Structure 1
């Protein structure tokens, strides 16, 4: 695989970094900057936006991410995905203020676009 294979939209299923492992769903959009570095944008649920920047090597994708909570506090973390193929990413993540006894988990599935209808 090459980094260009990862560009696109993914549906996300994940669990939070806590004992309860609260589940969530969302989307992940991956694009590249002019240096072929990863630009990531998540939408968790219908309202929580997260952004990240990262790199890809040996089928491993690493992204440093951040987001604002309702109180305008910036949370930061890192997610590591094993790219099973260009359509499935299997990952784990941790935030700086998350429970250090646990990791969060995500699995991302490429959203297929029908070339004929463009949707």
Structure 2
């Protein structure tokens, strides 16, 4: 698998970094930057946009991300995906100032022309 194989849109399901593990759904869009780094944009539950940049090696995708949080401050974090195939990513993530007791999960499933679950 190459970094180019990962480019596309994915449906995501995940859990937030809190005690109740509140869940979210959304969309992840991966594109390739000029230096063959991955550019990522998450749209979680239709109201929060996160952006990041990452790299791919040995079937592992690592992305540093940021977003504007509830207190109008930028939140930073990192997500690591194991790439089972070009269509299925299994990840875990954490935020810089998040609760260290919780390492959260996120799964991503690539949208394809044959996939009827587009929205």
Deviations 1:2-55 (A, max 9, x none): 000000000000001122111000000000111110000000011100000000
Structure 1 counterpart of 2:72 = 72
2: CA distance between counterparts of 1:91 and 1:74? 22
- What TM-score comes out, normalization by structure 2 length? 0.93
Structure 1 segments of 4+ aligned residues over 4 angstroms from their partners: none
- Listed as ranges, the matches of 1:50-65 within 5 Å are 50-65=50-65
- Listed as ranges, the matches of 1:2-21 within 5 Å are 2-21=2-21
Q: Secondary structure at the match of 2:5?
A: helix
2: CA distance between counterparts of 1:68 and 1:34? 25
2: CA distance between counterparts of 1:36 and 1:21? 34
**How far does residue 71 in structure 1 lie from its aligned partner after superposition?**
2.9
Stretches of structure 1 lacking an aligned partner (at least 5 in a row): 115-119
Number of aligned residue pairs = 114
Stretches of structure 2 lacking an aligned partner (at least 5 in a row): 115-119
2: CA distance between counterparts of 1:12 and 1:102? 19
2: CA distance between counterparts of 1:40 and 1:113? 21
**How far does residue 70 in structure 1 lie from its aligned partner after superposition?**
3.4
1: CA distance between counterparts of 2:97 and 2:27? 23
1: CA distance between counterparts of 2:69 and 2:100? 19
- Listed as ranges, the matches of 1:9-48 within 5 Å are 9-48=9-48
